[in-house]
Amino acid sequence: MSKALPNYGSSRPVSRPLEGALDRLFDSRNVWSVTVAATALYLLFFVGYPILYNVIMSFQEVSVSNVGRLDRPWVGFANYQRLIGDPLFPLVVKNTIVFVSLSVILQCACGLALALFFQQRFPGSGALRGVILAGWILPPLVVGAIWKWLLASDNGVFNYALQSIGLISGPVYWLSDPSSSLLAVTLANVWFGVPFNMILLAAGLSGIPREIYEAAMIDGAGPFRRFTAMTLPMLRPTLYALVALSTIYTMRSFDVIWTMTHGGPIDSSNVFPIWSYKLSFDIFDFAGGAAASTMMLIVVFFVALIYVRSVRAEARA
């Protein structure tokens, strides 16, 4: 019995030539050459040129009068030597290491805990996961403003909660005390980055077959043994990617810290992005700011290189 063909309406005869032309266009080798060339030009102009300009500036003597030109006096590594000899350099390095290390470790740990938690089926899990993800879509400036209010010494939620349960007897000056300002901005950055870590780790967990867990349970493996012997090894590629991406994102954190403390008080929460900005736009030391950002660029490049080599080694294994 013959089967009736579907009626596509009067537009069908018109769309066939168009579809054919599109098919020939996308099958052509020229279109891929054009798209690759357009992508390369975009990356060169919007990514490569600013980076190259910044690196060149870090080797020159730059002032307000010649910042718009490229033919500036060449000073070699003098700007880097001046930065390394600056009394502020050891403090900024220490703050950056503490800020990045704590942020990456806590973001990964909290993200993994939440991903494992939401792997369990319970009523309202979807809504609760959506609430947690809502924090991730907020602009960093808004996150900084919210945490500045939460940690306010006079009427902040944190001080009120800690005083209510008797952990502190008086207000803690989270943002104006040099001993606690770095911890305060780190907590805000951890809160901001946890949802991103949770998403990636949840995707990694969903790729682990449930059958091997069932087989391990039959063999008598407990939850801790299954986590250390099965979950963590199988999540290793995801964790590599997560640590690399979190390190890169954290090293360029600026908005949250700037909104909360401006790098203060007395540079107690000053990290490389804040220092680079202050050098360039507070005291107009453009070459010093370019040298500081180039140092960060080198560190980020090596983190990305380690990640790529780890992924390749994992793929060959």
pLDDT tens digits, residue range 256-268? 999 999 988 889 9
Is pLDDT at 98 greater than 70 in this prediction?
yes
Question: What is the predicted pLDDT for the residue at 65?
Answer: 84
Is pLDDT at 22 greater than 80 in this prediction?
no
Handedness of CA 287, 293, 299, 301 (dihedral sign): negative
Q: How far is 221 from 183, CA to CA, in rounded Å?
A: 39
Taking phi over 0 as left and psi of -120 to 50 as alpha, with beta for the rest, 245 belongs to alpha
Average pLDDT rounded to a whole number, residues 288-297: 92
Burial class (CB in 10 A: 0-12, 13-18, 19+), 293: buried
Evaluate if pTM is beyond 0.85: no
Name residue 74's beta-bridge partners: 60
Average pLDDT rounded to a whole number, residues 284-291: 92
The separation between CA 252 and the C-alpha centre of its own chain, rounded to angstroms, equals 8
CB atoms within 10 A of CB 290: 23
Q: How far is 175 from 166, CA to CA, in rounded Å?
A: 21
CB atoms within 10 A of CB 31: 12
CB 121 within 8 A of CB 165: no
pLDDT tens-digit map of 104-130 = 999 999 999 999 998 887 888 778 888
pLDDT band with cut points at 50, 70 and 90 for residue 15: low
**Six-digit token pair at 151?**
């940690």
pLDDT tens-digit map of 136-148 = 888 999 999 999 9
- Give the residue carrying structure tokens 């801790």: 224
**Six-digit token pair at 273?**
């992005």
- Fill in the DSSP letter of residue 72: P
Question: What is the predicted pLDDT for the residue at 2?
Answer: 46
Average pLDDT rounded to a whole number, residues 17-40: 78
Of the chain, the percentage scoring pLDDT greater than 70 comes to: 93
Taking phi over 0 as left and psi of -120 to 50 as alpha, with beta for the rest, 69 belongs to beta
Average pLDDT rounded to a whole number, residues 190-215: 88
Helix and strand counts by DSSP (H, E) for the chain: 16, 0
pLDDT band with cut points at 50, 70 and 90 for residue 316: low
Low-confidence winner among 65-74, 149-158, 174-183, 192-201 (lowest mean pLDDT): 65-74
- Fill in the DSSP letter of residue 127: H
